[in-house]
Structure 1
Amino acid sequence: MQEQLDEVCALLRRHGAAASLPHARFTIRSSASRTGPIPSMYEPMLCYVLQGAKRVTVGARTFEYRGGSFLTASLDLPAIGQVIEASPEKPYLSFALALDPATIAALLLDLPDDPGESMAPGLAVSPITPELADPLLRMVRLLDRPEDISVLRPMLEREMLYRILRGPQGPMLRQIGRSDSRLSQIRRAVEWSRKNFAEPLRVEDLADMAGMSVSSFHRHFKAVTSMSPLQYHKQIRLQQARLQLLATPGEAARVAFAVGYESASQFSREYARQFGLPPARDAARLRRNPEVENA
């Protein structure tokens, strides 16, 4: 299997970060050095780590994944990632494929019925198996054969998802593809929180959206996200504030009110706790080093 992963690394390095397969929804990440903690949003995806290692914290949980492993995220999760193993000679290198619930749902129609639903965390790490490395390699080889992409890419993506569905992360993927799963119910609340981050949050309203009692909703939400609904909403607000400060530099107080804070001083305290610097200094640092967000 290592020979397969080595060939994937060589192909990705040769094609670079600009490599693309039409409609494939994948991104390549590379870093020649270790990084500090970088807040970001993990959307539903498969992320294959081919070289180096990364540490990711979501709520109260911390994960490490390194060359030869893959990570699955089942819904939008505010996370803090840090490359912990990388060098110019052997950079951190990963290949991430965005997950499409409709594609997973179609695949489930051809699989045996699920014996029962279990509420899995929204993030999980497992070793890459030879059965997973094979379609990954054939997918990346399409970069050298663009004339084959339209026919073979959907087949290879389906094979990759099938292999994961048959493995230990299968229950998580099943929840993504099922419209009646607990995860899909939680996802409705997550989507509302992301779109309405500046609005006051009432957990009772989110529980109604999810079709659950307040206590059941709170329990399932935390099982998936490792955060309470209020903690999740606050992290979304802070990330949106950071984006606004980068896009339109201005007073932190203006941004604080724009994302829903009623107190500029509370916003500055919570922002510095989340990102390590007060709002204006953090935004200035990121404008000087924009590549830090892509590590």
Structure 2
Amino acid sequence: MESLSRLSDILMAHTPGSGTFDTAWPRLFLIRSDQPTEPMPTHYVAAACVMVQGAKQVLVGDRLYAYRGGQYLTVSVDVPATGQVTLASPDKPYLCLMLTLDAALLGDLILGLEAPPSGEALEASLRVDEVDERLADACLRLAALLDRPRDLAVLGPLVEREILYLLLQGEQGRRLRQIATADGRLTRVTRAIRWLKDNYSRPFRMAALTEAASMSASSLHAHFKAVTLMSPLQYHKQLRLQEARQLIFMQGMDAADAGHSVGYDSPSQFSREYKRLFGAPPIRDAALWVQNREHFAIAEAVS
């Protein structure tokens, strides 16, 4: 696809090496990796990630999503995940264009579209689809505006709206519509997610969660799991453990201090749950960080 080939040239010009790079457009980020990475804990936000070249896999709950150049990943709510670049090289790096999704912009667009059938069930927050020529061309034009700041200020909003419109018209349109529904079930699940993120180091409290979401415990549990592929308690644990792993890998914190920082009073419980999620005890990862700190910093930057 010619548009993706030209888009890869722009991304290469704007990414001096491996990492995630801000741009002059507030919701647009460019991601590059010159080599495959280790699996790294991360936290996905609502976004569309257009893979230009290379390949990556993302583990959410017990479901693995793999996507490659010419495909894109949409994420409808914030979810803890494990990301890994699986195909990249210095000659042909992994390249990705990420556009975070603004609920207000989506809502404004939806007002002009035909209303979907009511009562649609919530779907898993992640989905992989093929990039078509129209979407690739719109992404190319937005990225090309980065070299023309005056044009970006005027044309950027129009091209972003076009990209969102194309996403809404695609297979994942129903999922993205739910982001902008002011009092819909996805919005209530999002409130619960926000509470968990703000309080992950505190003990899990279902009563506080249902109050934040304005839902019954049974309804919240069912809808939360449909979207995030995890129960609220599992989500809370993953937030804690992923944050602890970040502290170990990015700050070199020892295992005991990392566990305490995220709310674990029992070192043995922390080690047990950490090993269950990541396959090895935290003390091993602390030792790996000492040996490979630069490599893990790159992996974290593109996860």
TM-score normalised per structure 1: 0.92
CA contact (8 A) 2:254 2:286 kept: no
Matched, 1:26 2:28: yes
Partner of 2:234: 231
Once structures 1 and 2 are overlaid, which stretch shifts more, 221-230 or 211-220?
A: 211-220
Instruction: Quote the offset at 1:240 in angstroms.
Output: 2.2
- Are the structure 2 counterparts of residues 119 and 212 from structure 1 closer, same or farther at C-alpha, using a change threshold of 3 Å? same
1:179/1:274 CA distance change after superposition, 3 Å:
same
For 2:285, the equivalent position in structure 1 comes to 282
Deviates more, 1:116-125 or 1:268-277: 268-277
Partner of 1:267: 270
Moved more, 141-150 or 254-263: 254-263
Q: Is the 8 A contact 2:141 2:159 kept in 1?
A: yes
Counterpart for residue 291 of structure 1? 298
Farther off after superposition, 94-103 or 253-262 = 253-262
Residue 114 of structure 1: aligned partner = 116
C-alpha change, 1:83 and 1:249, in structure 2 (3 Å) is closer
**Pair 251,138 (structure 1): closer, same or farther in 2 beyond 3 Å:** closer
Alignment of 1:180-199 (within 5 A): 180-199=183-202
| Deviation of 1:232 (Å) | 0.4
Q: Deviations over 1:235-289 (max 9, x none)?
A: 1111222344457655533432332212111112222343454435424544622
Q: 2:74 matched to which residue of 1?
A: 72
CA 1:21–1:85: 2 relative to 1, 3 Å: closer
Partner of 2:154: 151
Provide closer, same or farther for how the CA distance between residues 277 and 210 of structure 1 changes in structure 2, counting only shifts above 3 A. same
Partner of 2:3: 4
Which residue of structure 2 aligns with residue 85 of structure 1?
A: 87
| Distance (Å, rounded) in 1 between the aligned partners of 2:21 and 2:217 | 45
Match among 99, 102, 105 for residue 100 of structure 1: 102
- CA distance in structure 2 between the partners assigned to 1:174 and 1:76 by the alignment: 16
1:137-216 maps to which residues of 2 (within 5 A)? 137-216=140-219
SS of residue matched to 1:75: coil
Aligned residues: 294
Q: Which amino acid aligns with 1:170?
A: G
**Identity over aligned residues, as a percent?**
47
Deviates more, 1:197-206 or 1:146-155: 197-206
Distance 1:37 1:255 in 2: 19
Cross-structure match for 2:243: 240
1:109 positional shift: 1.8
- TM-aligned CA distance change 1:195 to 1:20, over 3 Å: closer
Give the TM-score of the pair, scaled to structure 2: 0.90
| 1:123 paired residue number | 126
Q: Aligned-pair distance for 1:112?
A: 2.0
Judging changes above 3 Å, is the alpha-carbon distance between structure 1 residues 34 and 250 closer, same or farther for their aligned structure 2 residues?
closer
Instruction: String of CA shifts for 1:36-83, please: whole Å, max 9, x gaps.
Output: 211111111110001011111100211111111110111111111122
SS where residue 85 of structure 2 aligns?
strand
Q: Which amino acid aligns with 1:99?
A: L
The CA deviation at 1:106 is: 1.6
Aligned residue type for 1:172: R
Question: Residue in 2 aligned with 1:55?
Answer: 57
Question: Could you say what secondary structure the match of 1:125 adopts?
Answer: strand
* Partners of 1:12 and 1:19 within 8 A in 2: no
- Structure 2 CA distance for partners of 1:99 and 1:257, relative to 1, 3 Å: same
Do the aligned residues in 1 keep the contact of 2:71 with 2:130 (CA within 8 Å)? Answer: yes
User: Which residues of structure 1 form unaligned runs of 5+?
Assistant: none
AA matched with 2:55 = A
Residue identity opposite 1:209 in structure 2: A
- Greater shift after overlay, 170-179 or 109-118? 109-118
Q: Does structure 1 residue 133 correspond to structure 2 residue 140?
A: no
Separation (CA, whole Å) in 2 of partners of 1:20 and 1:209 = 32
Q: Which amino acid aligns with 1:177?
A: A
* Aligned AA (2:204): L
AA aligned opposite 2:68: R
Contact 2:7 2:140 in 1 (8 A): yes
Partner amino acid, structure 1, of 2:14: H
Aligned residue for 2:115, secondary structure, equals coil
Indicate the larger mover: 236-245 or 214-223. 236-245
